[in-house]
């Protein structure tokens, strides 16, 4: 049993390494200077662009999974946990002290999505390239597929990533601390909108 576990973690390590090399190669082929960092540092790749260094944390996954297991239609999505690697697979939240960007690698298609760390929650889900379904999960989800997050955008500082703006809900209410709560601990919700939809649901019930 122990030998099998050792094999699994050795394989995971190899897969992680493959992702790091892939990101390095991807950046170099785009014309950037990029190199693998030393072991033990909280970032895996360093890239040179816009006259500065960018610390890149690489997260890899082998293939997309069905994230709509309970629903009728399978919905494939890649999923990456954005955490520091710990001994038992768990880890602390990544912060700006660890890295600037995350590179999310889809190993089956060898595509890489680059995102500023500040845009990432604890998990990031992206659709496979060409998927047409609409993401669900509120304003903190990413609409694009895995091919639509280039490195150039991630370092530009000008791209808006999430569906809603960071200051307002999709209906234009401000995300002040008083008007904000988090559903399931991760989806940012607007209290005004939540109260409104509750009122509508009640009205529908009463009319029925």
- Please state the closest distance from residue 190 (CB atom) to Zn ion, in A: 3
Position with the least CB separation from Zn ion: 190
Identify the helix (H) or strand (E) that includes residue 207: helix 191-207
Tell me whether residue 95 or residue 171 sits nearer to Zn ion (CB atom). Answer: 171
Q: For residue 167, which phi and psi values (nearest 5 degrees)?
A: -100, -25
- Please state the closest distance from residue 189 (CB atom) to Zn ion, in A: 8
Identify the helix (H) or strand (E) that includes residue 58: strand 52-61
Tell me whether residue 50 or residue 165 sits nearer to Zn ion (CB atom). Answer: 165
Q: What residues contact 110, with CB distance under 8 A and at least 6 apart?
A: 22
Tell me whether residue 112 or residue 169 sits nearer to Zn ion (CB atom). Answer: 169
- Please state the closest distance from residue 173 (CB atom) to Zn ion, in A: 3
Tell me whether residue 46 or residue 169 sits nearer to Zn ion (CB atom). Answer: 169
Token couple for 88: 């038992």
Tell me whether residue 152 or residue 195 sits nearer to Zn ion (CB atom). Answer: 195
- Please state the closest distance from residue 116 (CB atom) to Zn ion, in A: 25
Alpha-carbon gap, residue 6 to 33, rounded angstroms: 35
- Put the strands of the sheet holding 123-126 in their side by side order: 65-66, 76-81, 123-126
Helices (H), 107-190: 151-156
Contact 27, 36 (CB under 8 A): no
Contact positions toward Zn ion, by CB under 5 A?
169, 171, 173, 190, 192-193
- Please state the closest distance from residue 138 (CB atom) to Zn ion, in A: 11
């Amino acid at each position: 049993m122990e030998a099998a576990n050792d094999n699994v973690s050795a394989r995971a390590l190899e897969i992680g390494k493959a992702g790091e090399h892939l990101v390095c190669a991807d950046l170099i082929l785009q014309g950037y200077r990029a190199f693998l960092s030393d072991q033990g540092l909280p970032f895996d790749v360093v890239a040179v662009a816009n006259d500065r260094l960018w610390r890149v944390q690489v997260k890899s996954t082998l293939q997309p999974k069905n994230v709509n297991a309970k629903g009728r239609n399978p919905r494939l999505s890649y999923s990456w946990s954005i955490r520091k690697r710990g001994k038992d697979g768990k880890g602390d939240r990544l912060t700006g002290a660890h890295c600037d960007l995350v590179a999310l690698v889809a190993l089956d298609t060898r595509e890489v999505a680059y995102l500023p760390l500040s845009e990432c929650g604890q998990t990031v889900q992206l659709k496979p390239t060409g998927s047409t379904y609409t993401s669900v999960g509120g304003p903190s989800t990413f609409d694009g597929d895995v091919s639509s997050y280039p490195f150039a955008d991630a370092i530009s500082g000008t791209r808006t990533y999430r569906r809603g703006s960071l200051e307002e809900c999709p209906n234009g209410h401000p995300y002040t601390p008083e008007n904000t709560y988090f559903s399931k601990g991760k989806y940012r919700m607007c209290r005004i909108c939540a109260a409104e939809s509750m009122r509508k649901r009640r009205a529908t019930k009463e009319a029925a």
